[in-house]
Amino acid sequence: MKNINIGLFGFGCVGQGLYETLNNSRNFAGEISKICIKNPEKKRKLPAQLFTTKKEEIINDPTIDIVVELIDDAEAAFYIVTESLKAGKSVVTANKKMVAENLETLVALQEQTGKAVLYEGAVCGSIPIIRTLEEYFGHEPLLEVRGIFNGSTNYILTKIFNERLDYPKALKQAQELGFAESDPTLDVQGYDPKYKLSILLTHAFGIHVHPNDITNLGIDRLKAADLEYARAHGLTIKLVAQARRIGDKVYGFVIPQFVEPNHSLASIENEFNAVTIHGEFCDEQLFIGKGAGSLPTGAAVLSDISALSYDYKYEYKKHYNLGQLPFSNQSPVQVYVSYNSPEEVDLTDFENIQEKYFSFDHCYIVGHVCIGKLQQSQWQNNPNINVVLTAEACQTSLGNLCVSDLKEEISELKKGQKIRERITV
């Protein structure tokens, strides 16, 4: 096998992780020939002649075999990836936002150029979930993909529940360890796992779903009262991304969930990620690995580089063979909603309500609401309002209640089941 020359864009956390894993690998013949960076004044340990600020020095260099894009600017990353493909180079990227927002375009461009884009490092760090879906589950009809896709928020929630740290302290720890960015918005508000879910929808179900069409709620609104509610019921909270095929439709979202101690995701702690795949034939498979940190992601990127050296590419079997299943947000789920005063939430948005609690400084309800309604509601924009999927909804899986079933359930409630209501003065 010939020596692979790599052109690298970005030398931050993941770029340095790639450099370290590559130079300590014994089974890969390759080296980084040139690194494009934004700030040439920043002190670095490597020789200055290895660095450049000009993108074209890598994209147009005929001696460079593979381009690796590891920057945090999605728009600039898209330019680098598309121009590299057009220049006849295969690409590895770890930019999940760029891939999720442009996957349909990238798939078409790969077909036109005959070159490949691999992005295992963009989804769940060291877990080889994309290649697993492409190869092992390439022909199996899948029912559900769900899991903890963000190591930063999982680390924060672990510290909150295991060590009883408050949210600001847990977040600061995650930032100091490099698990969370200085601006943690993408992680704590659920955008990062949403981008990853968008990508996995293509490989699991063959559909391209733009991230804007997927509902995402984060952990940044968790209150002390919500944590006490969880502890009182013997539950923990995880930020869970999930997608499920029901009939001829696929449903999906990212929402914090109450998780019971015996649930497969309950024991996933710190920066670890987990992905559960449920197929018609294989039943349930659980994959666990580190989802944050420079070395786990760097190792995933190196694995993609190695795969490209053998001319590997994603075949997108389900996208081409299964046709386009429609994606829908019209799925009712049971949620716990906490807020400060009764007028903050429009209860008419709920299909039914099983429990209410009101006090001077804290209120909550438990009831069924359609994901689409939740996504469009004005009250959901209120930073004082927090939404968590109930443990019952987490155990029974997304979409087990269709709208007609839900209407029957509401009818039964009206006939005889009394709503549990508590009022504290």
pLDDT tens per residue across span 186-215: 999 999 999 999 999 999 999 999 999 999
pLDDT of residue 177: 87
93-117: average pLDDT: 97
Parts of the chain belonging to CATH 3.30.360.10: 129-290
Least confident of 140-154, 291-305, 356-370: 291-305
pTM for the model: 0.91
What average pLDDT does the segment 305-311 reach? 93
Residues carrying CATH 3.40.50.720, the chain: 4-122
Residues 15-70 have pLDDT tens digits of 999 998 888 888 888 899 999 999 888 888 899 999 999 999 999 999 999 999 99
Q: How many other CB atoms sit within 10 Å of the CB of residue 155? A: 24
Residues annotated as catalytic are: 196
CATH fold for domain 4-122: Rossmann fold (3.40.50)
- Greatest CA separation for the chain: 78
pLDDT at 40: 87
Task: Please state, for a pLDDT cut of 70, what percent of the chain lies above it.
Answer: 91
> Residues for the chain: how many in total?
425
Interstrand relation of 66-69 and 4-9 (parallel, antiparallel or unpaired)? parallel
How is domain 129-290 classified at the CATH fold level? Dihydrodipicolinate Reductase; domain 2 (3.30.360)
